[in-house]
Each structure stands twice: as C-alpha cells, then as structure tokens.
Amino acid sequence: MAQNIPAPVAKKIPKTLEKFNDKRIDDYFWLNERENPEVIDYLKQENDYYHKMTAHTEQFQKDLFEEMKARIKEDDQSVPYLYNGYYYITRYEKGKDYPIYARKKGSLDAKEEVLFDCNELAKGHAYFQLSGLSVSPDNKFASYATDIVGRRIYTIGVKNLETGEILSDKIENTTGRSVWANDNATLFYTRQDAVTLRSDKVYKHRRGADISKDVLVFNEIDDTFNVGISKSKSRKFLMIESSSTLTTETRFLEADNPDGEFRVFQKRKRGLEYDVSHFDGHFYIMTNADKATNFKVMKTPETATGIENWKDLIPHRDDVLVEGIEIFRNYLVVDERSNGLNKIRIMPWSGKGEYYLPFKSETYTAYPSVNVDFDTEILRYSYQSLATPPSVIDFNMRTKEQTVLKEQQVLGGKFDKNNYVEERLWATAGDGTKIPMSVVYRKGIKKDGNNPLLQYAYGSYGNSMDATFSSTRLSLLDRGFIYVIAHIRGGEDLGRQWYEDGKLLKKKNTFTDFIDCSKYLIAERYTSPKHLYAEGGSAGGLLMGAVVNMAPELYNGVIAQVPFVDVVTTMLDDTIPLTTGEYDEWGNPNEKKYYDYMRSYSPYDNVGAHDYPNMYVSTGLHDSQVQYFEPAKWVAKLRATKTGNQLLFLDTNMDAGHGGASGRFEALRELAREFAFFLDLEGIKN
C-alpha cells in the first residue's frame, strides 16, 4: 500500500451560512461550481490519488471484473410477454454492453423485428440510456427517450416501426415518460423544471407537428409535488398523477378523446394517498383513506370518483401492508407485506377459495411481474432469495399449477445454492424495537468473530430492501464474507409505521437501528469491528455518513455511494434539483424544529476529529439526485478534520450520473473497485 503519497488538499474559502442565529462556516462551498476549472481539477486530483493509492489492486480489480462477468450469460434475453398482438423481448448479445429491444408478431416463431439496438445508438457516447419505450395502439409507431449525459434529462423521439424511419419529432428536456392516446397520433409527455429538475408539466404533442406548438395540458404549481402520465391497464383512460411524499391527486381522461379535458378523480387533501386502477366500469383504489396506515383497497364506479363514493373492498389491517394490486377478469391479486416478507394473495371475484402462494424460505422476494392482460387465469410473478437466482414463473390461478419460465443462469459451473446458508435475525434497538436482518453466507463459516461481514441498508422514503440474489455478490461470499441486509426503520419493511418511525423528527432511528444491528452481529460473533464493513448509496449514503460520525469505532471500512451528506445546506436551497419535494421526508429546515434536528445529524455538519473507518466515496459529475459537490465537500472536510491514517478515497465518474456507468459491464468495473477495496482491507489478494 503506497501510503506515502500525499492526499489532495482542497483550498478553503470560508462562507458563512446563517439561519435562526446559527452560523455554519462552510470552507468548501466553492466546490459546487461545476463549470469552475479549479473544481474539475480538484476532482481529477482526487481520482488520480485514488488510482495511485490502489494501483497494487488493479490486476485484482481486473480479475474480479472478469470473474463477475464470467457468471453472466452474455447472450441472454427476457421472458417474452404478449401485448396487443406482439411478443416483446429484451435481449443481449455476447460482447455487447446494451440491450436490444425486439418484438415478434403473433407467435414466438415469427420473424424478429428489432425496435431499438441500444449498442448502435450508444456509439460515440460515454454514457447512454434508453427509457420510456411506448408503442402506439396500432403498433405502427414507438416513442422512446434517450439520455447521453446521465442527468436524467431525456430527449423523446418517435420511430415509424413499419419503415424504420426516425421521425422529425424531437422533444428535448423531458422526463422520458410518454403515452399514446388511442388515435395513434397524440402523444402525452412530461417535462421538468430546467433548474430543479422537478417533473411539473404535462404536454400534448401531435405526431409530426411543430414541437413549439405542443399544448400544455397540466402544470403542477406546488413545488413539493411531481407529476407523471400513464395509461390504465384497461387502455380506456389516460391518467395524470400529481404526488408528493404524503399526498396524491389523479386526473383522468378517456384515451379515445385526447382533446378532451382531464377531470380530477379526487381533489388533493394533505395526507391522502391513493393509486387508481380501472376494470369493467369501476375504479379500484389502493389508499390510506380513513386512517388506513397500511393501506386498503376500495372500489367506486367510473362515473362517481369522489371519495364519498368509495367502498371498502379489502379493509385495513394493522399487521399487513398492501403494496399493490393486479386485476384479472376472474381474480384480484394483492401484493402484500407482513412480518417483513412479501405475500401474494389470490382472491377470486366469486368470493370463494382465496389463498396465498406458498413460500418456504426465511428470506425471499416475490412479486407480480409483467401482467398486461385482463382476460387470463395466468399470473406471472418473480421469485428469488439471497441464495436463489431470480426466476420468472407463470402460475395458473385456477389449477394452481406453475411453470418456471426462466431461472437466471449463473455460469462457470461452480455455483450451487445449496452451498449457502440463509438466516433471518432480529436485533434489539435501544428503544426495544426488534429490527430484522436478512443474512447469507457460505456453509462452513464459524461464528468466532473473525469473519469479514458487509452490512447494507437504505432506510428512507419507505423503500423496503428485499432479500434479492446477486451473482456478483458471490465474489465476496466465496471469499468468506457474510452479507447482511439490515431492514431498518425508514423503509416500509414492517409496514407503513416502520417508515413513519424513520423520517422527519424520528430520522435518527434509521441510524441507531443500523448501529444496533452492527452491535448485535458483533455480540453474536458473526464478526468484529476489525472485520465489519458497511455500505449504502444515496439516502443510504447519508446513513453511512451519520453512522461513521456516531460510531466510527465499529467499522473497518465503509463505502458511501453518491451520498446525500450535506443535508442542511441542500434542503435550504430550493434551486437544487428535487429539494422541495423532499420536505415531507426530511422536514423543511425553514422551520426551526426541523433545522435544529437536521443540524444535529447532517454528516457534513458533524464531521469531527475522530479516527474514521477506511472510506471509499463515489459520485458522478452529472448526478441529478445527489449533486457531486456533496460527497466532494464531505471528503475535503474529512481530510482536514479526521485523525488517524485510515484510507479516504473520492472516486468521481466524470461521465455519469446517479446510477453510475450505463453499460452493464462498465457497471461491473465500478463494483470490482468496491469489492477490491473491502478485500484489500481484509488482506485477501486474489
């Protein structure tokens, strides 16, 4: 390890930030000047330092990359699904980084029609992403969106699928989402604010018309809301949904009448959330109305959509979270979560013989997959666990017979899921709450405190972290690592209250839950502080930042990916993308109680003179979710403040955004760097 290389030193330009008579001195505020050559130079210095300090692992990184790549079936394809007379397929070809979108008319034996070959479209671009593919009802046109920067600002185009011609329609600065009306000529799409990147407007475009003549259909003026456009599964209605963290409002219009006026389904009411599906003359509503904290399902005629007409179909239950519904002609399928695990409930409309799909594993993930047809008794769902590769299954809801259409192949001939142990553990938090953890490791490991262990969590926005399989993770498991997902508060793993207890003025529960899980794993001798590692990204990067301030002595190494760490400054700046929509998650720091609380945990504001763990911090210059300057400032302040000689790296992808590299194999190179960081700290060289 070449530890005699001097680390970059960012210059200090003190800036005083004052709120509620509290003065914060930010020495590195200047790093938010993206176009400043000195900023770019500093980021490049940090990249150079990282590469020089890890030069001894370069071959190992390459070996890890090849090892992980070798497990992936390169000439792979998705399970086809039938929609409007065509089978749709996404496939990959050997040696190529990007997907090919294709379809076959009427039969899987029909000639393949390539819609988009992203390998061709990506040529000449360091970053490429295709999104929002939408085919017109007559199957003749496709709208699609491309991003070549990584900032999630898309350009929508239209392709004639009969001739292969790319039409002149070129709609810039969009979210990428577009939906066809039933006339095959009208396209609805969403745009975002140029500064904040908040999705705020819905436009209507006539195929072939001048873009400047596009009609503004809806403008969401509340800057805490985002807006989206979709089409009901019944294909009868276009739906505009305005949503904030706590509130939704839907507008709807017959898809046969694109020049009509959208009608409000139910006027927004703070705290009222609802999601609408349509079938056979009725709307089905998943909602938290009537204090249904874990949500319930209601029903109303399509001619009477106000809340006063809604009737309970599935009542609220304190111990079961309703996460979604799938409607079929003879069945209602409910995606539920109880005790932290997914459940799939099959309910015949006849009211007789409802049941749950049986799952036996302690830790697994199961959810309805692509189900675009009402008139079928086949439910397509996906299943996987920490040790079981993902499978796509067709389940006959009448006969209860199931067909495994595909299980992800793990190439190389070495993988056997029976070689791994899965466990579900429960740690006790400081307030007595039981925190679940999903655990996987290779058989034969002794719980003697000497095992390297990687603990992962997210813990925000009500996003549950399910126990999913990863073929790349095998590179850690097969080298003796234990892998743990901590299902901490702030997610929705144990229901809506689990989320409520990890947000706003209860946010610190997220951090202390993670720390208490770490302490449990150490006490039970799964690992020890010399061998314990932690990882989180985005809001999970905030988690990492808070944890290393609060309990740095517990961890030997930490990876923070695109971390949200300058909480107070970011949440006070409503010009930064996505800030105002976050108030219901973190609080509005323009109110003193939220300011004070954020101030008490914001990682950047609470950096101290501690012996921090070894740390690897990654970001993307074009990140639209967490701006690059947050991790850059954080690392600069850590360098100037921390004690000890532990490693501290900042690795900035100068070509990508929040999601990292765009190619499937380029993303593996990033992962190989992360794995090499952990393995090198453990003294594992190959």
* Interatomic CA distance for residues 387 and 487, integer angstroms: 18
Distance CA 171, CA 146 (A): 11
DSSP 660: B
Find tokens 């509290």 and name the residue: 22
Q: Is the Cβ–Cβ distance between 572 and 536 less than 8 Å?
A: no
Q: What helix, strand, coil percent values describe the chain, rounded to 5?
A: 20, 35, 45
**Token duo for residue 256:** 């046969």
**Closest to 541 in 3D by CA, of 560, 559, 569, 556:** 560
Kindly state the DSSP code that residue 79 receives in the 8-state scheme.
P
Selecting among 244, 538, 602, 624, the annotated active-site residue is 538
The string over 96-108, giving b where at least 16 C-beta atoms fall within 10 Å of a residue's C-beta and e elsewhere, is bbbbbbbbbeeee
- Active site includes 623? yes
Catalytic residue from among 471, 651, 658, 680: 658
> Cβ contacts of residue 530 below 8 Å, gap of 6+?
556
CA gap 168, 185 in Å, rounded: 14
In the residue annotation, 475 being an active-site residue is answered as no
Tokens of 426: 């429960």
Q: Which of 338, 331, 324 is nearest to 355 (CA)?
A: 331
Q: Which of 214, 516, 623, 680 is catalytic?
A: 623
Where does residue 111 rank: exposed (0-12), middle (13-18), buried (19+ CB within 10 A)? exposed
610 carries an active-site annotation = no
Asked if 529 and 558 count as a contact pair (C-beta separation under 8 A), the reply is no
Nearest to 242 by CA among 277, 291, 278, 202: 202
Residues contacting residue 135 through CB under 8 Å, at least 6 positions apart: 84, 86, 141, 142, 161, 180
- Gap between the Cα atoms of 464 and 492, Å rounded: 5
> Is the separation of the CB atoms in 435 and 487 below 8 Å?
yes
The residues carrying an active-site annotation are 538, 623, 658
